Structure 1
């Protein structure tokens, strides 16, 4: 539905977004282990993915699983991806938006921000999946099954997207829409469209394999945290950057 390509906003306070780039490298390395390592995909997902029913103690995995304490799967699931397409999609969002958010926060704060958003996203997904157990829900609502594992960085990435649109709402970004249409739109339009898709899909989407509620949870966490955690952000420079990028050349 929406795939960002380029924004062109220059960094103001650092030369290299070390954390954003490091997270990209880590996710790629973990995926290489996921694909080519000694453990099968099912073992990796069972050992490091977040399973809501297990997190809340209603189900137990076979002996030896998970490979980390259950609470830690709120974090470890962030770095697993089910396919190269899943991985590249998340990392492209992080590549386009992460540098400017890290620039506004600094390295350490950005790392904490990303992890907190990812954890919040995982927890919201787990709560949403468990709300269907024993509850009478409208037939149109399609909530995730509590036994289905959650993996992927999209929750943390969603927090980064929320931070970016708050910091640079009027900056025009190039993105692919609706299956490949290239458009250059203000961030608040592009990301607003993306958020609307996530919201509708979370309750009425047909694909139960996507962590829609994780996307919403990460986005809300990012929107709450960015006013607290930004410390090197100048709104005057942000407006100037938006105006400069909109000026025809």
Structure 2
């Protein structure tokens, strides 16, 4: 399933969400400019490496935040930024700009820590914003439980557009991350950081109420549907 848009209109300009996306894109272009050798050096110097982090967690905190803004390729970047574009604006709308930024960074921090301690002997660098974005998706699920996501679903080799309840779309996504994460424990090969997704999502799910501080009487329709 691939999401195209959700059915909730943001009531404010998601400035922070746009800045996060722009920052990730800018840094990715910088990565590309380094060439393969330079990029490898950069990742080894600043990215999160679970084994090193577990050995020196205090010194490794900076690598968790650095990893949130590094990506392994165009598809990695586009997939992450598209998900953030769809779900992040509404979460920022409910939290406010400064709270949303703090929430996003803490989601990424939680994701990195969980991934490091689940695989404490891994020496493979972990990069990508997906752990932080997983936190945003967890928050979205709590704040907009009956929203819907227009999704491309491939059936019989043809793309179908389906309005999927957010709780189903995000729930299935999380289940896939959890199952894949458990399966990944049996191999030492690199790949997707499923446990970062799990950790970020659970943080977002549990911590969202501490950050969503909009007043209850705010003129806001939680699940407003609008056709394009």
Partner in structure 2 of residue 110 of structure 1: 100
Compare 206-215 and 195-204 and name the one that shifted more.
206-215
Is 1:74 aligned to 2:64, yes or no?
A: yes
Partner in structure 1 of residue 5 of structure 2: 6
Q: What's the CA shift for 1:183?
A: 1.9
Q: What's the CA shift for 1:165?
A: 1.0
C-alpha distance in 1, partners of 2:132/2:7? 22
Contact kept in structure 1, 2:124 and 2:190, CA below 8 Å: no
C-alpha distance in 1, partners of 2:15/2:178? 31
Partner in structure 1 of residue 42 of structure 2: 44
Contact kept in structure 2, 1:3 and 1:89, CA below 8 Å: no
C-alpha distance in 1, partners of 2:144/2:4? 16
RMSD (Å), alpha carbons: 2.4
Q: What's the CA shift for 1:241?
A: 4.4
Q: What's the CA shift for 1:112?
A: 0.3
Deviations 1:129-164 (A, max 9, x none): 02xx5xxxxxxxxxxxx1011000001000000111
Q: What's the CA shift for 1:8?
A: 3.3
Q: What's the CA shift for 1:182?
A: 3.2
Contact kept in structure 2, 1:170 and 1:187, CA below 8 Å: yes
Partner in structure 2 of residue 202 of structure 1: 181
Is 1:232 aligned to 2:208, yes or no?
A: no
Q: What's the CA shift for 1:233?
A: 6.0
Q: What's the CA shift for 1:187?
A: 0.3
Name the TM-score, length of structure 1 as normaliser: 0.80
| Higher-Rg member (1/2) | 1
In the TM superposition, structure 1's runs of 4+ consecutive aligned residues that sit over 3 Å from their partners are 177-182, 205-208, 233-238
From 163, 169, 172, the counterpart of 1:184: 163
C-alpha distance in 2, partners of 1:20/1:82? 21
Partner in structure 2 of residue 56 of structure 1: 54
Contact kept in structure 2, 1:104 and 1:233, CA below 8 Å: no
Contact kept in structure 1, 2:47 and 2:125, CA below 8 Å: yes
Partner in structure 2 of residue 245 of structure 1: 225
Segments of structure 2 that go 5 or more residues without pairing to the other structure are none
Contact kept in structure 2, 1:167 and 1:235, CA below 8 Å: no
Name the SS for the 2:126 alignment partner: coil
Segments of structure 1 that go 5 or more residues without pairing to the other structure are 59-68, 134-145
Deviations 1:43-70 (A, max 9, x none): 1211121001111238xxxxxxxxxx53
Aligned length: 219
Name the SS for the 2:71 alignment partner: coil
